[in-house]
Amino acid sequence: MAREIKFSLVYRDMWQSAGKYVPRVDQLLKVAPEIIKMGCFARVETNGGGFEQVNLLFGENPNKAVREWTKPFHEAGIQTHMLDRGLNGLRMSPVPDDVRQLFYKVKKAQGTDIARTFCGLNDTRNIIPSIKYAKAAGMISQACLSITHSPIHTVEYYTNMAFVLIEAGADEICLKDMAGIGRPETLGKLVKAIKDKYPDIPVQYHSHSGPGFSVASILEVCKAGCDYIDVGMEPLSWGTGHADLLTVQAMLKDAGFTVPEINMDAYMKVRSLTQSFMDEFLGFYISPKNRLMNSLLIGPGLPGGMMGSLMADLDTNLEGLNRYFIKNNKPEIDQDGLLIKLFDEVAYVWPKLGYPPLVTPFSQYVKNIALMNVTQLLKGKERWSMIADDIWDMILGKAGKLPGEVAPEIKKLAQEQGREFFTGNPQDSYPDALPQYKDLMKEKGWETGTDDEELFEYAMHPAQYVNYKSGKAKADFEADIAKKKAEADVKNRPAKIEPQTIIVEFEGARYSVDISPEGEIATKVPGAPAPQEGQPAASGPLENIEAPLEGVFFLIKGTEQPLKVGDAVKKGQTICYIEAMKTYNAIMAPRDGVIAEIVPNPGDKVYEDDVLMRIK
């Protein structure tokens, strides 16, 4: 009898690989019944990674979204799975141990069956606790091998890693080929080695299609014994996304495997609904370049899951760079030129940083360093001038052991900055924190929620959760949509326009949008936060502290107390943060002094050279 291959639809990841946002819960609930009617999926990915942060950015409760999204699949007998980042949980930075344990209890209670756990460094010390916590919560533990291609990452390397994870209790193994650069022959050998020793351990293959290897890789891993294949579907398959269901099914059927049939009426309905979500607003955040396959991705090995946000980051940095060039009478650069420079720089810095597998968060870290290097070099400055604390934690070993050696020039830089390399267990650096968050919620009058799910959300994403609770997140998001709709409207108007104000409606709110004759847009946000009270006007000898890069301004990134006007600061003290490209960049006091003014509000967007604070 032909061996059976089962399919898993990575519906959340389809969106994350294409653009910045994923559908709202009301949209997800429209599409879920039609996905079920397709009749071909044993599993559906319903949560994980950046999904919950996106909900918070919408001003939508992530816990409600997960409960409602998983429910119809459970009722249909389809397993749901989520992606988690091991030591980092659902965020970009390490998570306290008690928060990690609560994570799995909450997600199981909300209806998630399978925890797909990975470590971006392939450090099994970061995965093994999650295996135990997931199983203790009653979940299936699927442990990941983060696949990349380098002199270090051999079949033997990954085979030994799989054996360690299985012996630690993993129920399943996932080959997480996040950039799609795993070579088909190598992946087939890896699956065979796992199945030869552990024939009863299910193996699932997840790949992105960008560089072009994925379909060949799927065929090879299935021949070697793989059980489940992750697939995407139109209009979000291919490109930086995943191989299309129809192609994979036809290929495997022809190869003699037993595969499920597809209800094509339901397929077309899911396809139509997905397109309608794009047309409504999600398409504003999808770069057309992410809909293309590109063999240039073989070199830098950047993952499909981050390409959606990468193009947005690139546009932001391009805008800032060109402002600098115009100011300094230099020729501007276009997106393609910046993209190639970035790809080349990623290939340059990756070995120097110890070959971390390019998967979240370490793909973002490597990309961020590369992009900062490129921008600094284009401005005539030196490499390595902006490295965020979280990135230093990766370099120093605080996030886990790097696969390779850090380059001498990076070691020298660490020494010059008084930074020490760490060889202990990464979790030991992040003590329990739930009691602090419980106390803070009690002070604010916030409920900890069913199964402590709101406590979990606050502890996992403190800054975003505060903006969600205050309503700022929703106001900012809706204003951004209104601006993008207005920009699209301007593009469809005649080239010459008179100054005017138009009203754009979104989500029941009306936004006043001023359009200049040059086509410049200014959105008036209803309910925007007023400037901070009690701030004195600048007087006397003050020193401006300016933003070194574009991003979102925050005073804190956790439970620490924010600085306020009148506080004394010491030279080198962290006084605020700029969140850019998913990392918090610490801004230091240039000298001893007293804070005289805090210019932006927390959560405000700032541009390079904007004044953040003034000290006297």
Show me where the domains of the chain are located: 8-291, 295-429, 472-524, 543-615
User: Is the pLDDT at 497 greater than 80, yes or no?
Assistant: no
Q: Does residue 605 carry a pLDDT above 80?
A: yes
Higher-confidence residue of 548 and 137: namely: 137
The residue with greater pLDDT, 44 or 50, is 44
CB-count exposure of residue 117 (10 Å: 0-12, 13-18, 19+): buried
What CA–CA distance (Å, rounded) separates 471 from 459? 18
pLDDT digits (tens, 9 = 90+) for 461-488: 998 899 999 998 999 889 988 888 888 8
Which pLDDT score, from 0 to 100, does residue 498 have? 57
Burial level of 56, CB count in 10 A (0-12/13-18/19+)?
buried
- Give the DSSP H or E segment for 113: none
Running DSSP on this structure, what letter comes out for residue 87? G
Q: What is the dihedral of CA 148, 150, 154, 160, to 10 degrees?
A: -60
Beta bridge partners of 569: 593
Tell whether the model's pLDDT for residue 268 goes beyond 70. yes
Predicted local distance difference test score (pLDDT) of residue 306: 57
Of 584, 565, 585, 586, the residue nearest 575 (C-alpha): 586
| Closest CA relative to residue 594, chosen from 531, 539, 532, 533 | 539
Q: What CATH class has 8-291?
A: alpha beta
Q: Which residue has the higher pLDDT, 616 or 40?
A: 40
Residue 319 has what pLDDT?
A: 75
pLDDT over threshold 90, residue 496: no
Residue 575 contacts residue 614 (beta carbons within 8 Å): no
Handedness of CA 500, 506, 511, 513 (dihedral sign): negative
**Higher local confidence (pLDDT), 529 or 419:** 419
Q: SS3 for 324?
A: helix
Burial-class residue 70 by CB neighbours within 10 Å (0-12, 13-18, 19+): buried
Question: With pLDDT > 70 as the criterion, what percentage of the chain qualifies?
Answer: 88
Of the candidates 8, 478, 340, 390, which has an alpha carbon nearest to the alpha carbon of residue 205?
Answer: 8
pLDDT confidence of residue 533: 44
Mean pLDDT on 366-395: 86
CA angle centred on 484, ends 482 and 488, rounded to 5°: 115
Pull the structure tokens for residue 485. 């709709």
Distance CA 5, CA 261 (A): 12
How far, in whole angstroms, is CA 106 from its chain's centroid? Answer: 21
SS3 assignment for 430-470: CCCCHHHHHHHHHHHCCCCCHHHHHHHHHHHCHHHHHHHHH
Q: How far apart are CA 172 and CA 203, in angstroms?
A: 6
Closest CA to 318 of 340, 333, 330, 300: 333
| Bond prior to 129 in cis (omega within 30° of 0) | no
CB atoms within 10 A of CB 233: 25
Residue-level pLDDT at 32 = 98
Which pLDDT belongs to residue 114?
98
* 252-261 pLDDT per residue, tens: 999 999 999 9
Q: Judge contact between 605 and 473, C-beta under 8 A.
A: no
Residue 249 has pLDDT above 90, yes or no: yes
- Worst-scoring range by mean pLDDT, 45-54, 90-99, 111-120? 45-54
- What pLDDT is attached to residue 225? 98
Q: According to CATH, what is the number of the domain 543-615? A: 2.40.50.100
Distance CA 600, CA 616 (A): 18
- Tell me the per-residue pLDDT of 542-565, one tens digit each, with 9 for 90 and over: 899 988 878 889 998 877 788 999
Mean of the per-residue pLDDT values of the chain: 87
Torsional class of 452: left (φ above 0), alpha (ψ -120 to 50), beta (otherwise): left
Determine what percent of the chain is predicted with pLDDT higher than 90: 58
pLDDT at 612: 95
State the DSSP string of 352-377: HBT---S-TTHHHHHHHHHHHHHHHH
Query: What pLDDT band is residue 307 in, cutting at 50, 70 and 90?
Result: low
Instruction: Count how many residues are written for the chain.
Output: 616
Range 142-149 average pLDDT: 96
Say if residue 149's pLDDT is above 70. yes
* E-strand stretches of 31-100: 41-48, 79-84
Using CA atoms, how far apart are residues 77 and 39, in angstroms rounded to an integer? 11
Look up tokens 């079920």; give the residue.
36
**Does residue 318 surpass a pLDDT of 80?**
no
Number of Cβ within a 10 Å radius of residue 76? 15
- Whose tokens are 């207005």? That residue is 486
pLDDT of residue 507: 52
Residue 140: strand, helix, or coil: strand
